[in-house]
Structure 1
Amino acid sequence: MAILVTGGLGYIGSHTVVELLNDGFEVVIVDDLSNSERFILKNIEEITGKKPFFYPFDLRRRELLTQVFDAHKIEGCINFAASKAVGESQVKPVDYYENNLFTLINILQEFKERGISNFIFSSSCTVYGQAETMPIDENTPLKVPESVYGRTKQMGEQILTDFAKAYGRRISLLRYFNPIGAHPSGILGELPIGVPNNLVPYVMQTAAGIREKLNIWGDDYDTEDGTPVRDYIYVVDLAKAHVKALKKLMQSPDETVIDIFNLGTGKGVSVLEVVKAFETANDVKVPYKICARREGDITIAYANADKAEKELHWKSETPLEESLRTVWKWQMYLESQTV
């Protein structure tokens, strides 16, 4: 029996693969390497002492996906395969709809034809849009998200909900807030291709001198310091939640299960506060400049994750500065590999 992890060499995917292997699962990775690197596979093996199966292809190629299901006894899937940059999604909407939805549908076709259940979807707090009240819990009404990326996540959730109801399957929709940090070993972390779209990798590269200045997209939001507020969750904490959610599905006696969990810390932190915390944690300076607001961004979002604590026996426990120290350790590792 094996767990299929799509996008398993990506940022959150690779950390989740580590947690799955450490927990005794057999793991099959499919990743097209469009936003990841092959050396991550070696580093996963170095951390865990175990080697997952790996197939480098695009999930839109259904015939290759079928071969993977033929070769392995898949009993569940954690789906990370998606394009994920908010800004990019606004200028490449068709690409985002195709990549984020067609790949999901192809996997579900295999699940449907083979009678497989236990599907975990990598979703996002963007499905709430700009919520009216904070913190955001799972009963907060969904809105049409500001970004195309967010809309693909909301559509993916609906596809999976319809799938579970129609075919009697078990699914879990995990709505992340803002993952940050790197593995404590320092050899796994976020590896953006080109200019980073997420805050912390840009902070890291600016501190390292790769970028001249950090662009802060707006300081006129209705927040204490004028910069957007988010809920920053340590990626290893987040990865562990996937294992707990998977076990819950696999142990459920019910045929149809539709679980929804917010995964966050429950605390909002502004962009400027993250910058200052990074400087303090790593004794470095991060020069920045204020730019115009970025299309698709919301003002404030942070989680109520009580449901995950109650039902999954999980909560985020890693402090912000500790998470940011692992980021700098990851940057030092990357620099050592280019020498």
Structure 2
Amino acid sequence: MKTILVTGGTGFIGSHTCVELLQQGYSVVVVDNLCNSNAEVLNRIHAISGENVDFYHVDLLDKAALDSIFIDHDIDAVIHFAGLKAVGESTQIPLSYYHNNLTGTLNLLDVMASHNVFDFVFSSSATVYGEHNPIPYVEHFPLNSTSPYGRTKVMIEQFLQDAFVSDPRWNVSLLRYFNPVGAHPSGLIGEDPNGIPNNLMPFITQVAVGKRSSLSVFGGDYPTPDGTGVRDYIHVVDLALGHIKALEKLASQAVKSIDAYNLGAGKGSSVLDVVRAFEKASNKKIPYEIMPRRAGDIAEFYADPQKAADELGWEVQLSLEEMCRDAWHWQSNNPNGYVLE
């Protein structure tokens, strides 16, 4: 049985990936500082999978604590989700984002190398493509981000490129996510943001459950079919399965490599497309208000996912309607997220 270390494993994408790993027979060790997640997730992961993870409440900035985990466990590979992730917040506290995301990753890579662990799946982002590349985004495009958060992703990808060139034992998948939404179909785990949601779907679900009065739609005058921003939405379970495919490729290839893969549906949906799909799935009316555009937002982007299909054998299976159905199932069963009343 292979043992996978998952940093940030109690977060939205991390928790769903832990479930898929456990259900496919992997042993899972989770490291998380719980700064933007809840330990209740661990109980839910067990309820879904029937298996437990080994959990360590550790910050990646604590290199000694991280080293002790590698001493105690025979780690085969690492999936790295941990990091601060709000684009807007990153413009307000950029140095915190650089320190946390970059130093934490450097500590992790140092500790991995000292224990001869070189298989690494990195949680990157479509934000690395910036705002000037044509759509659909293809992996060979030049990278450039408009926010400190996005720049940490670009820099970490560069760390890994340089590490691979210097030491060919490194074996790396860079997974560039588009817009993950939805929840596990059990309704036991899902997206539970702190404070006002930064992402569209949890904002919609909180309106539907009565926590917010209406949805703010930022920008109604974009050059898109209905004037609202168009994004590439992907079900979080599909995304989690992409990490399994990436691990399998790393484990099976004789020649080590570093490769980037877009994980997206390959088509865009507007904000109002998502609202209508959610209303249909939930039978709830979502009032919304068109607001001014947000600085840094672009009209439209979506992935070219062909490389992931060709090299990982991965493609999306779940529709926008299924994303909305599962997101509503999660939120309606957990109106306060993981906070137990």
CA displacement at 1:132 relative to structure 2: 3.5
CA displacement at 1:296 relative to structure 2: 2.6
- Equivalent residue number for residue 187 of structure 1: 188
The alignment partner of 1:130 has SS state of: coil
CA displacement at 1:271 relative to structure 2: 1.0
**Which whole-Å CA distance do the structure 1 matches of 2:295 and 2:35 have between them?**
24
CA displacement at 1:335 relative to structure 2: 3.1
- Equivalent residue number for residue 122 of structure 1: 123
Give deviations 1:236-267, integer Å, cap 9, x for gaps: 0000010010110011111x310110000011
Which letter does structure 1 place at the counterpart of 2:282?
N
Is the contact made by 2:183 and 2:327 (CA closer than 8 Å) also made in structure 1? yes
The alignment partner of 1:238 has SS state of: helix
**More moved, 29-38 vs 92-101:** 92-101
**Which whole-Å CA distance do the structure 1 matches of 2:120 and 2:133 have between them?**
30
- Equivalent residue number for residue 174 of structure 1: 175
Which letter does structure 2 place at the counterpart of 1:7?
G
Is the contact made by 2:209 and 2:335 (CA closer than 8 Å) also made in structure 1? no
- Equivalent residue number for residue 264 of structure 1: 264
**More moved, 57-66 vs 5-14:** 57-66
Q: TM-score, normalised by structure 1?
A: 0.97
Which letter does structure 2 place at the counterpart of 1:38?
A
**Number of equivalent positions:** 337
The alignment partner of 1:335 has SS state of: coil
**Which whole-Å CA distance do the structure 1 matches of 2:33 and 2:57 have between them?**
5
The alignment partner of 1:74 has SS state of: coil
**Which whole-Å CA distance do the structure 1 matches of 2:246 and 2:133 have between them?**
28
Give deviations 1:7-31, integer Å, cap 9, x for gaps: 0000000000111111111110001
Equivalent residue runs for 1:195-206 within 5 Å: 195-206=196-207
**Which whole-Å CA distance do the structure 2 matches of 1:72 and 1:55 have between them?**
12
Equivalent residue runs for 1:225-304 within 5 Å: 225-254=226-255, 256-304=256-304
Please tell me the root mean square deviation across aligned C-alpha atoms, in Å. Answer: 1.3
CA displacement at 1:131 relative to structure 2: 4.2
Which letter does structure 1 place at the counterpart of 2:136?
P
**Which whole-Å CA distance do the structure 1 matches of 2:91 and 2:297 have between them?**
11
**Which whole-Å CA distance do the structure 2 matches of 1:227 and 1:147 have between them?**
21
The question of 1:309 aligning with 2:336 is answered no
Is the contact made by 1:130 and 1:298 (CA closer than 8 Å) also made in structure 2? yes
Change (3 A) 1:331 1:298: same
**Which whole-Å CA distance do the structure 2 matches of 1:88 and 1:293 have between them?**
17
Which letter does structure 2 place at the counterpart of 1:231?
D
Give deviations 1:172-204, integer Å, cap 9, x for gaps: 000000000000100010110111111100110
**Which whole-Å CA distance do the structure 2 matches of 1:87 and 1:296 have between them?**
9
The question of 1:81 aligning with 2:82 is answered yes
Which letter does structure 2 place at the counterpart of 1:28?
V
**Which whole-Å CA distance do the structure 2 matches of 1:327 and 1:81 have between them?**
23
The alignment partner of 2:190 has SS state of: coil
Change (3 A) 1:338 1:49: closer
CA displacement at 1:107 relative to structure 2: 0.5
**Which whole-Å CA distance do the structure 2 matches of 1:132 and 1:66 have between them?**
40
CA displacement at 1:83 relative to structure 2: 1.1
Equivalent residue runs for 1:1-339 within 5 Å: 1-142=2-143, 144-168=144-168, 169-254=170-255, 256-335=256-335, 338=340
**Which whole-Å CA distance do the structure 2 matches of 1:98 and 1:155 have between them?**
12
**Which whole-Å CA distance do the structure 2 matches of 1:137 and 1:212 have between them?**
38
Which letter does structure 1 place at the counterpart of 2:147?
S
**More moved, 287-296 vs 78-87:** 287-296
Is the contact made by 2:16 and 2:184 (CA closer than 8 Å) also made in structure 1? yes
**Which whole-Å CA distance do the structure 2 matches of 1:21 and 1:132 have between them?**
38
Is the contact made by 1:186 and 1:333 (CA closer than 8 Å) also made in structure 2? yes
**More moved, 124-133 vs 67-76:** 124-133
Which letter does structure 2 place at the counterpart of 1:266?
G
Is the contact made by 1:9 and 1:33 (CA closer than 8 Å) also made in structure 2? yes
